[in-house]
Amino acid sequence: MTKRVIKIFFIIILIFTLSAFPVLADDANELEEVVIEEDEKNEIEASASSDTKPTINSRRYAVYDRLSGRCIYGKDENKQTAMASTTKIMSAVIIVENCNLEDIVTVTAKAAGVGGSRLGLHTDDKISVNDLLYGLMLRSGNDAAVALAIHTAGSVEEFANLMNQKAEVLGLTNTHFVSPHGLDNSEHYTTAYELAKITDYALKNETIAKIVKTKTTIISINGNPMQINNTNELLGNVEGVYGVKTGFTNNAGRCLVTSVKRGDMDVIIVVLGADTRKDRAKDTMKLIEYAYKRFYIFNVEEAIKQEFELWKQINQNRIYVNKAANSLELKLDEVKIKKVATDMNPAIEINVVSYIEAPIDINTRIGTVTVKIGDEIIEEIEIKAQKEVKKRGVEDYFSIIAKIYSGTIKIFNKDEI
């Protein structure tokens, strides 16, 4: 075999070998600084002040209102797509809900050998679950993800089962996991909207909320200190940003999940499928500025209660309760969505029965209050009987007859007797 033939043979083997490996999540340049120039920031703020919708490079995105659990603005937000290392948000949820953070993990060869972005773990390294979580969410370490998965569930496959069980509990119908890190796989997907829902749930955990807002920290591997920095380019650089997670694979593109709070308005911005890190950063900033310029907080609970009290004054006694021994009194069930971010005042509609037979048990449904933003129903609250309404007995009829003869009642409806 000639040298030329041998060379060609090895080139073919190399190409085949590289193509057999999965695309890796969060490549090395995630750690490089992304700079948004001052004139670019000014341009983003100026465009948000106009009536024009922002021009977004990312293929899919969602602006999620944490107060109401609604997507208030988006594009293809319900389309299934790869999510890269934003997967690790769900991984973190499973870990904090199933592990003791002080436990020490011994890194396996499988965890140490995983590719992509890495914390830099080696076989038999000793590191706490807590420090691995920081390595997972700040440095986006795939080796940390696998180490935690094996520690938590015994294997990557069993850990993915836990992730999918949690997705089902959260009511996610377009999300499926096969790994804790998010390397490309056709069976590993979510949507921008459901990723926002996962993030909203994760941020309710104090441990996760604390980790994702950390810009830099010191962890310990084998007792040796190591500084790690957050890959989130907007954290500390954009007003109100307090998390959450970056991601990249060739299939997913550049991904970024960002939580922002300014005043009472708390939103999660998800951008998936951007071409560059700068694009995803600028897209997120545009969506943040657009959301805070266009949307405002509406107090749904207060508006419902005011509307209901006004309605009761006029309409409560118009509900005819046949053969009632006492009057019907109404109350509202609990209002679940207290406030909502919106760009228009919600419409409130009250509908109740006009006729009902006694007896009526306490908490019997009498009607509903429906709250709409445009054509979307965001809340339905039941109107119920505040107390029991008894059916008239013989003594009630004698009382009525007595009142008639005494002149207390001069005109009555035949249905009353």
Positions marked catalytic: 85, 88, 140
The two tokens of residue 322 are: 């046949």
Provide the β-strand partners of residue 349.
Answer: 370
CB 152 within 8 A of CB 99: yes
3-class SS at 351?
A: strand
Contacts of 7 (CB under 8 A, 6+ apart): none
User: In 175-299, which ranges are continuous DSSP H helix?
Assistant: 192-203, 206-212, 277-294
Positive or negative: CA dihedral 66, 47, 286, 71: positive
CB 275 within 8 A of CB 254: yes
Alpha carbons 303 and 307: distance in angstroms, whole number: 6
Beta strand 376-385 pairing with 330-332? antiparallel
The two tokens of residue 375 are: 């054509």
Contacts of 108 (CB under 8 A, 6+ apart): 123, 146, 147, 150
Centre a 10 Å sphere on the Cβ of residue 254 and count the other Cβ atoms it contains. Answer: 24
| One-letter amino acid of 291 | A
Torsion angle, CA of 295/297/300/305, rounded to 10 degrees? -130
Provide the β-strand partners of residue 176.
Answer: 189
**In terms of residues, how long is the chain?**
417
